[in-house]
Amino acid sequence: MTDAHARQDPDLDALALIASGDTRGCRMLSDRHLPRLHALASRMLSSSADADEVCQDAFVRAWQQAPRWQARAALFSTWLHQVVLNLCRDRLRARRESLPLEMLEEASHDDGPEQAQGRIDQSSAIRSALASLPERQREALLLCHFQELSNIEAAQVLSLSVDALESLLARARRGLRVALIGGALSSGARL
């Protein structure tokens, strides 16, 4: 990372405050990143309570890392996403099963009963299709499409080249399409 690029990291001011013992830096990092990181952990773990614990662990690591942080090839937020992703992987491995992901809202308040049930069915089909993807493909989709990280940032989080990430995303989209079409055909739904 160049010096000019390092100055563009919006977290450097908060990290400097934390390093000097000022708790405002902790609040700044929490306010800036907690909602997105919690959403990522919730989607990966399908549990808000587990996501709370993962985020707490991730921010403890952030506070510990802050005094030693030096601008590198990645932004601090990219490193923090990677920490959350790794903590989620550890929890999933401990469970020894892949859990469905909460990707869509179940229903809108404006929907009638048929529309609400249709959204619930669609959401369930998408969660099942996502759960059927290999772990790395699912993570790539989460980071790029739901966390809205750029391909460069997502590649850094997953320790991949951008080309490898794009290949992973393409395979994930194909796998998702096949799973959704297969599910629709087996349930007799029309596409």
CATH of domain 1-99: 1.10.1740.10
CATH fold match for the domains 1-99 and 108-191: no
At 190 the pLDDT is: 44
Backbone angles phi, psi at 40, to 5 degrees: -60, -50
61-66: long-range contacts at Cβ-Cβ below 8 A with a sequence spacing of 24 or more? 62/29, 63/18, 63/26, 66/14, 66/15, 66/18, 66/19, 66/25
At 101 the pLDDT is: 45
State the DSSP code for 190. -
Global pTM?
0.63
CATH of domain 108-191: 1.10.10.10
Which residue type does 190 have? R
Q: Of all helices (H) and strands (E), which one includes residue 2? A: none
What are 182's two structure tokens? 């297969």
Residue ranges of the domains in the chain?
1-99, 108-191
Per-residue pLDDT 10s for the chain (191 aa) are 444 444 588 999 999 999 898 889 989 999 999 999 999 999 888 889 999 999 999 999 988 888 888 877 678 999 999 999 999 988 887 765 433 444 334 444 555 666 656 666 666 777 778 888 898 998 898 888 888 888 998 999 999 999 999 999 999 999 988 888 876 545 544 44
